[in-house]
Every structure is written in structure tokens, then in C-alpha cells.
Structure 1
Amino acid sequence: MASDHPVVRLGDYVDACLGKMLDAQKNRGELHPYLGNSNVRWGSFELEALSTMRFEDHEEERYGIRDGDLIVCEGGEPGRCAIWRGNAPMKIQKALHRVRTKAGLDNYFLYYWFLRAGRTGELEPFFTGTTIKHLTGKALAELRIPLPPIDLQREAARVLRSLDEKIDLNRRISQTLEAMAQAIFKSWFVDFDPVKAKIAAKTEGRDPLRAAMSAISGKAEAELDALPPEAFEQLAATAALFPDEMQASELGEIPKGWAFKSLADIAQFASGKIEVSALTEDLYISTENMLENRAGITRASSLPSVATVPSFKAGHILVSNIRPYFKKIWTARFDGGRSPDVLAFEPIDYLWAEFAYNLMYQDAFFEFMTRTAKGAKMPRGDKDAIMGWRFPCPGGHLMIAFSETVRPNYAHIESLNSQNKSVSELRDTLLPKLLSGELAVAEVDA
């Protein structure tokens, strides 16, 4: 039971330090990448476009991190932390605590304790400040944590880690499926590979249709005849939708018969309102709980204090309109409510919904949003400009063919997301019980 475990002062069981102040102009030494507050997620790190700072030789050890270090955010959301894995050289900036456990305290047990304490509000009394609250090094040392025997700590952490590893594996599979869909989109509608294959085949006296089939399937032409009859016929039907010529346009060469169209030709802004009282944190999408770099969404931390918000429906494409360079986009898998700063696009024809999503997923779309945005400190996309964004558009049959091709990917992703939700709920139920000793690991394994 929880009362059987001693409660100890954290500072007696860890070595901790804050990162380096941002004073790069005053320092000598080599430039090194470093982690800041925004690079630490709940249990993971965002490592794209890291900033660099100069560190002198004597600062290498003080501000460097190594495998197994717990990195805790000094400000912002209490409890946000992650464990650094691997030996890639990395430093930390002042916004972070580097915490190394001593004998008697398992680093993953402490990590899960921070996650739980952040959610329960247990950490908030230790944060100081008014506008932005901070967890000072002194306050971190004074935290009180339960200390079961080390073997029980490790066993509890093992169970929780196994659930997190399942979630992470599903996420990586989802990312692979997403990347596969994007690769097909780029091949068909950006690089025009099937069209170029037909053109080359005509020049060389080969069958243009089979050349396009090879480009679409990734198989050599000699392998096509080994396909099952239904798969062969479907592949041939898709390849037939691509022209065998290019044509000039005001924005460069595009496949013959295609035209530059605007986003408004394939999607419209969704309308509608929903009562906030009808929502939960799982059904509300704001720019805060949309993830950067097209990584989807997380659960909202709270609901807005207004009566109604704009609604969205399953199948709508949601895009954060604030700071579009963060590239936040998600296809809704359920009905819900959203912040006014989250745009909802409704495909004009749901048969090409996956085409519309993959089109807006492109860097070119977010670069256009950023270029035409209004405002300096908090740029927002211009809704009129967004709907005027132009792209080379194929015929409707080809958009439908693409959507049908990648739809199984997104069905699988949805299944994996559903699994992750169940596993996350199980982990969150077990976490406080395992940490406190209310539930024995043997009972979970059984």
C-alpha cells in the first residue's frame, strides 16, 4: 500500500541542474545544438530545426545530457518531461532541468511520477511566478516523492513502458502509412511520374500503358503479368487515366488535359456551431492541441469558457490558421468542436477527400499560407488567399482513383489510433496504482 512506502525529498536522490542562459554573443567555444522548452513534449522530443549556442569546454559536462537523463520543463505545463535516449551530443538551455537519478531511484519511475503529478496538480504549489510560472532548481529539490524498493520501482516502470512502447510502435506504423500515401501523391501529382513514363515509352517504342502501370506499382514491366487478374485490371484502369503528353501553362508544364485550379474548386469552409456543453476534451480541437509538422492531434487540456464554438464533422480537414509555418493539419475522424483559429475544410465531393487532404498536406500549401498570412507576431492565414491557392488539378476520376488507392492506409491508421486510445486509457488507469503500490505488478501481469 502507498502508506508502506517512505516519502522522501527528491533532491536527496538526484543530481539536477538548469540549462545554460541564452547569452551566445558573450561566449567563446563551439556551436552546439541545444534543447529548449518547446523541444520537450510529454514523453518525447521534437528535434527538427534545433537552435545552436556556443558552449565553452568547461561547460560541456555541466549542460550536456546523456542516455537516461530525465529532462523536465522549468516553465509552462507542470510535469512536461521526457527521458533522453542514445548518445547523440546534446545540450540544454535554461528553460530545462536535467535530472539524473542516484542509487535507490529508477529514472523511469521518476519520469512516470512527474507525468502523474503534473496531471493531478501536485506540482503546481511548487511553481512560482505570476505571468509565467517556473519550477526553480530549489523547488525541484524540495519535491516529495514516494520511494518503494528499487525492484518494485523498476517493475512498475517496466509495465508502463511496455504500454508506451506499444503506443509508440503504432504511431511509427501510422507515420509510415502516411508517408506511403504522400509518396504516391507526389509521384502522381507533383512529379507526374506515370505521365513521364508514358512519354518515354512512346519515344522508345514501348507500350505507354504498361510503362505507366510500372511507374504506379513500382514493379518492373516484366512483373506485371504475375499480378492477380483483378489487381492487373485495376492497375491498368488507373494507368489509363493519365495522359501521355505534357502541355504548357502559365505556371509551367502540366499533364495534357489538366488545369490550374484553386482550392475553392475542390473544398469549402465548413460552417456550423456546437454547444460547448456537448463537448469533452476528447472532442475539442484548438491550435494548442494540434501537433506541429503534421503529426495529428492530442487531447485538449481544457474547454473554452464560451457557450458555443465552430463545429466540424468526420471527414473535414482541419488546419491551424495561427503560425501556419508549424504545419498543423488533421483529417477529422469524429464530429466535434474547434477553436475559431482552426479552419475546417469540407471536400466538395467526399469521394476525393483523401486527395484534398494530401494536397493540403504539401509543403507548398503551408508555404503559401505563410507567405500570404497577416500579422507579424501572431501571423494568421488569409482565408480569401487560402481559397485562391492554385495547383495543377487532374480530372475527377483520377482524384477518386487516388483516394481509393490510399483509403486503406487511413483506415489502418484509424484502427491504430483506436488501439492507442485504449492502451493510453489502460496506462493512465494503472499509472497511479502502480506508483503508489495500490496494485502489484504481479496482478497486472496475470
Structure 2
Amino acid sequence: MDMQSKAKKLIKMIQTAPVEWKPLGEVGLLVRGNGLQKKDFTESGVPAIHYGQIYTYYGNQTDKTLSFVSPELAEKLKKVDKGDVVITNTSENIEDVGKALLYLGEEQAVTGGHATIFKPSKEIVGKFFVYFTQTEIFDKAKRKFAKGTKVIDVSATDMAKIQIPIPPLETQKKIVKILDKFTELEATLEATLEAELALRKRQYRYYRDFLLDFDNQIGGGIADGYQCRLKDVVWKTLGEVAEYSKNRICSDKLNEHNYVGVDNLLQNREGKKLSGYVPSEGKMTEYIVNDILIGNIRPYLKKIWQADCTGGTNGDVLVIRVTDEKVNPKYLYQVLADDKFFAFNMKHAKGAKMPRGSKTAIMQYKIPIPPLSEQEKIVAILDKFDTLTHSISEGLPYEIALRRKQYEYYRGQLLSFPKAA
């Protein structure tokens, strides 16, 4: 019987299984850590669990730590024993609060004040609780107790109040066994897809460099007859073929999907994500379909996106619109998404800690303009790589997201116990 069939069988059993919901504090002891800062870490000594590493480097469990503290300091800190669960209490992101890690190391470890140690009683499996912290039920519960704005905190006292389903121990162990296997399968498949994605991105970069090399440094252009077509390439400044958007759009027409700030533009040409902030008043710079949006703070982050809708942005994002009918907007996007453009932008940027690109200098950037037919050929090739490496509705990123969603579905189902009547 494959894992999906086993999971479905167990899900049916869970729907009728006896389960009691109890506050976390009744099924184990919660101990808040204390007094551990980044400067306290050493290269060797007593194993220490640094709260930030729980959601950066570890998975669901570990038998070793990545950090250490001196024996003298360790004596003053709270102890983590084998089988204990370490839960993050504090983070700048609410999503990271409540991340949990099962410690299986033979040597006793310590942790600081940004984490709480949960010492499970005999009626709950520590790993079962770790998986439960990854559910929407737990997420909603922790948010009710979250305090703070810039730094979010859920205290150990409040964590103890969160209701946890307690099915029979044997059921908990079966759930853990299946979810462990799904985690393993997901990690293996994801690693394979990530490796394939990295390869495709390298190919994409190679072909973009090759096809846009009109000064013939590496023999660019479409290879066949390239030398014959070099004479058809015209070099113009960006300002001769495009302009910055002068249009304005009211904030009431913006939402998380079409408002673009520098924060929701993704690094390294990865496009954009939903915005966590939308202005509630005033007018913004408008962008339309095919406009090119470039993050103008810290140009080295290579934040660029070609619009597929109408929306608005602020002064930290440049909106470039093609004005020359002999230039394909998608071709111009590929030229501006090139490393040479970002290097040029950084060369003329002002400021040390937070460099900002020069709007004037950017419009002086030299653009190779081959005939439209040539631009269309280049776009057709590079668009395929762009879809393969970036599309969330198809291509490799979609495959990765699909596998994660499948795992999340079974985890949610296996941990969805009926509430007591």
C-alpha cells in the first residue's frame, strides 16, 4: 500500500477516533528560555539552539545544534533534553513565531529567551506536536495571543493556553510515521526539482547573454547569419525609446495584487509577490500592461518585473514605458533584466548604505535595437525559459508548489480532529 493510500485510510479512522482537546500546558511543561544573545555564541562548547536557526536551517527535528556557548553561560540557561520541543516565541514575522523543533541530541543543549522549551508528558508525542504547529488551527490560535508590532511575541504563558488535540498515543505515532515519510518524499522530489530549476536558470542566463550580445563580445544574436545582421542593429539610449510613466492612479483602485512597492518586488529578476501594504489614500504612479517596473533602491538586488495588469506604485519603483513602435516591450524587458544594466545602474547610484539609482543616468543607458522580427525571435526563445524558471502556473516553480500543496493537504487532513461536542 503506497503512502497516499495509507494516509487516506488513517484519515477515515481519525474522523471517528476518540480525541480530547486540551490546553498545551496540561500535556507538558513549558519553560521560557532566558538571556541568550548573538554575541554569546562561541565556536565550540555546550550545544545551544539559536532560535533564528529553528526556521532557517533545521527541519522538523535535529540530533545536533549549529551553535555553542561557554560552559559558564550554559549553567545560567534553560536546558533542552532529548525529546523536548523548542518553540520560537519572538520574531519580526508572525509566521515564524511558533515554529517548533524536536531535539533528539544525546547531549543536553541550552536555549535563550526567544524560545520556549516544551517537555511533553506521556500522553503526547513530541513530534506529533511539532507537526500540529504547522497547521492552520495552530496558526490561528497563536495569532490571537500575539503581541507587539515590529517584534511579535507569544509568551510561554499564552502558548500554554492553545488547545491541542490528544488522540490515543498509537494514533499519534501512526500520524507521525506517515508525515515523516511525506516529508522525506517531498524533500527528495523538491531537491531534484530545485536542481533542475537551477540548471534551467543557468541556461536562461547563458541564452540571454548570447542573444543580447550585439557588440559581438561572445558572438551573440541568433547564431545563423549573425554577422550579416549586425549592420541592422541600431544603438539608442533608453530615453530615446522609452519614458517614465507620468500617469497617476487613485489608491482606491489598488489592492494587494496590483500595488507594487520595492518590498514586494523580488530579488534576482524573480518578479513580485502580493503586497503586504496597500496605500489607503492619495494617488500613485500608474503602470499598465507591458510597462517595466524596476526597484530603484539598492539596484544590486536586481528587482524587475514586467506588468501583466494595470496598477500603481510609489517613488521607490521606476515605471518604464516603451514609446518607440520599433521596440518590442518584451524585448526591452530582457535587455533591462540583464546583468549589464544593473551594473550600469549601480555605477551611477548615489548613497552608501542605501544606494539609489539615478533616473537621469538610467535614461542614458545604451540599448541595441535590432529589427522587430529579430526582437520577436529573441523574445520567443527567452520567454520559454522565463516561463520554465519563473511561472507559478506552469513550469518548474509550479511543480515545486504542487508538491508542497499536496503535502500540506495530507498534513492538514491527518491533524484535523473533530472538536468535542
Cα drift, residue 265 of structure 1: 3.8
Distance 1:37 1:386, change over 3 A: farther
Q: After alignment, is 74-83 or 286-295 more displaced?
A: 74-83
What residue in structure 2 maps to residue 203 of structure 1? Answer: none
| Cα offsets for 1:192-219 (capped at 9, x unmatched) | 7x7756xxxxxxxxxxxxxx8xxx8xxx
> In the alignment, what sits opposite 1:123?
142
Amino acid at match of 1:241: Y
| Structure 1 Cα separation of the partners of residues 30 and 409 of structure 2 | 27
Tell whether 2:339 aligns with 1:363: yes
In the alignment, structure 1 residue 8 sits paired with structure 2 residue 23: yes
Aligned residues: 366
Q: Distance between the aligned counterparts of 1:383 and 1:117, measured in 2?
A: 47
Letter in 2 for 1:437: F
User: Residue 387 of structure 1 aligns to which amino acid in structure 2?
Assistant: M
1:324·1:370 contact (CA, 8 Å) conserved in 2?
yes
Aligned pair in 2 of structure 1 residues 422, 183: CA closer, same or farther (>3 Å)? closer
Shift of 1:278: 3.5
Report the counterpart of residue 227 of structure 2 in structure 1: 242
Shift of 1:75: 2.3
* Aligned partner (choices 325, 329, 345) of residue 300 of structure 2: 325
Shift of 1:279: 3.7
Are 1:182 and 2:205 matched, yes or no? yes
Partner of 1:299: 274
1:334-373 aligned within 5 A:
334-347=309-322, 348-349=324-325, 352-373=328-349
1:132 paired residue number: 150
Q: TM-score, normalised by structure 1?
A: 0.59
- Say if 2:244 and 2:319, in contact at 8 Å, map to a contact too: yes
Which amino acid is the alignment partner of residue 23 of structure 2? Answer: V
C-alpha displacement at 1:240, in angstroms? 1.3
Aligned mates of 2:371, 2:51 — CA distance in 1: 46
Instruction: Report the identity percentage.
Output: 18
Gaps in structure 1 of 5+ consecutive residues: 45-52, 85-91, 198-211, 217-236, 245-254, 440-446
Tell me the CA shift for residue 429 of structure 1: 8.6
Whole-angstrom distance in 2 between the partners of 1:388 and 1:276: 32
Partner SS state of residue 91, structure 2? coil
Provide closer, same or farther for how the CA distance between residues 409 and 8 of structure 1 changes in structure 2, counting only shifts above 3 A. same
Task: Point out the structure with the larger helix share.
Answer: 1
Task: Give the unaligned 5+ runs of structure 2.
Answer: 1-14, 60-65, 102-109
Aligned equivalents of 2:51, 2:318: Cα separation in 1: 29
Aligned equivalent of 2:243:
268
**What is the deviation of 1:298?**
2.0
Residues 147 and 13 from structure 1, CA distance in 2 versus in 1: closer, same or farther, beyond 3 angstroms? farther
The reply on whether 1:409 has 2:385 as its aligned counterpart is yes
Per the normalisation by structure 2, the TM-score is 0.62
Contact 1:12 1:141 in 2 (8 A): no
In structure 1, how many angstroms separate the alpha carbons of the residues matched to 2:228 and 2:118? 61
Distance 1:117 1:395, change over 3 A: same
**Alignment partner of 1:22 is 2:38:** yes
Pick closer, same or farther for the CA change 1:54–1:35 going to 2, 3 Å.
closer
CA distance in 1, matches of 2:194, 2:309: 19
**In 1: Cα distance, 2:400 partner to 2:281 partner:** 28
- Aligned Cα RMSD in Å? 5.5
Q: Which amino acid aligns with 1:239?
A: D
Shift of 1:79: 1.8
CA distance in 1, matches of 2:163, 2:294: 41
Shift of 1:402: 1.6
Distance in structure 2 (CA, Å) of the matches to 1:106 and 1:274: 50
Residues 1:430 and 1:394: Cα distance change in structure 2 (over 3 Å):
same
Q: CA deviation at 1:351?
A: 6.1
Q: Describe the SS at the equivalent of 2:134.
A: helix
Aligned residue identity for 1:272: N
Matched, 1:280 2:237: no
Q: Which moved more, 1:150-159 or 1:420-429?
A: 420-429
Distance 1:364 1:71 in 2: 45
Deviation track 1:219-278 (CA, whole Å, cap 9, x = no partner) reads xxxxxxxxxxxxxxxxxx75213359xxxxxxxxxx777676433244332343334434
Show the 5 A alignment for 1:1-400: 4-9=19-24, 12=28, 21-23=37-39, 29=43, 72=88, 74-80=90-96, 97=115, 103-106=125-128, 109-113=131-135, 118=139, 120=140, 122-129=141-148, 132-135=150-153, 138=156, 142=160, 144-149=162-167, 150-151=172-173, 153-154=175-176, 176-190=199-213, 239-242=224-227, 261-347=236-322, 348-349=324-325, 352-375=328-351, 378-390=354-366, 393=368, 395-397=370-372, 398-400=374-376
Equivalent pair of 2:30/2:116 in contact (CA under 8 Å): no
| Displacement of 1:35 | 8.7
In 2, distance between residues paired with 1:93 and 1:328? Answer: 37
Q: Is the 8 A contact 1:318 1:329 kept in 2?
A: yes
Is 1:127–1:133's contact at 8 Å kept on the other side of the alignment? Answer: no
Report the 3-state secondary structure (helix = DSSP H, G, I; strand = E; otherwise coil) of the residue aligned with 1:319: strand
Between the aligned partners of 1:260 and 1:93, the Cα distance in structure 2 is 60
151 and 330 in structure 1: CA distance in 2 versus 1, 3 angstrom threshold: farther
* Distance in 2 (alpha carbons) for counterparts of 1:169 and 1:270: 42
Measured after TM superposition, the shift of residue 184 of structure 1 is: 0.8
Q: Is contact 1:19–1:97 with CA below 8 Å preserved after alignment?
A: no
Aligned partner of residue 305 in structure 1, secondary structure: coil
Shift of 1:109: 1.8
Displacement of 1:145 in angstroms is 4.5
Matching residue's letter, 1:183: Y
Q: Distance in 2 between matches of 1:162 and 1:312?
A: 44
CA distance in 2: counterparts of 1:328 and 1:111, whole angstroms: 33
Tell me which amino acid in the other structure corresponds to 2:96.
R
For 1:353 and 1:97, locate their aligned partners in 2 and report how far apart those are by CA, in whole Å.
50
* Cα pair distance change 1:368/1:80, threshold 3 Å: farther
1:8-51: CA deviation from partner (whole Å, max 9, x where unpaired): 32793789868952337xx8647xxx99969968x99xxxxxxx
